[in-house]
Amino acid sequence: MKKYIVTDKAPKAIGPYSQAVEAGGFLFVSGQIPLEPSTGEMAQGGIEFQTARVLDNLQAILTAAGSSLADVVKTTVYLKDMADFARVNEVYARYFPQECPARVCVEVSNLPKGALVEIDVIAVR
């Protein structure tokens, strides 16, 4: 059985996908880019600011599902420029201070709306 998670505390989907889906004891949260939830506009600022906005959006979706970043077991980080890796890690470490989830980090040629970073997560329920 699947349960779809929707919250106005995070940006609305900009395509044919769900913010998150709960299935089989897991919560699959779609990739988030640094959009402001209230306007759907790209958050202004550098990579640190964009990373924080993405992680705040992910936290909002997890909260709507009755979960939190502490329940995350896997993340995938997509970077427009791998040169931002260290700065993203600094912000990421504030959201995952201990017992960090498994992670993949890759550089991509482009992200939606010109974002510098996108992150998706899988959490346990």
19, two tokens = 């913010």
**What is d(CA 69, CA 11) in angstroms, rounded to the nearest whole number?**
18
Per the residue annotation, which of 21, 69, 105, 111 is the catalytic one?
Answer: 105
Q: Are 92 and 82 in contact (CB under 8 A)?
A: no
Q: Are 50 and 34 in contact (CB under 8 A)?
A: yes
100 counts as catalytic: no
Which is nearest to 97 in space by CA: 70, 121, 117?
Answer: 70
Count the Cβ atoms, other than its own, within 10 Å of residue 91: 18
Backbone phi and psi for residue 17, each to the nearest 5 degrees, phi listed first: -150, 165
Tell me the catalytic residues: 105
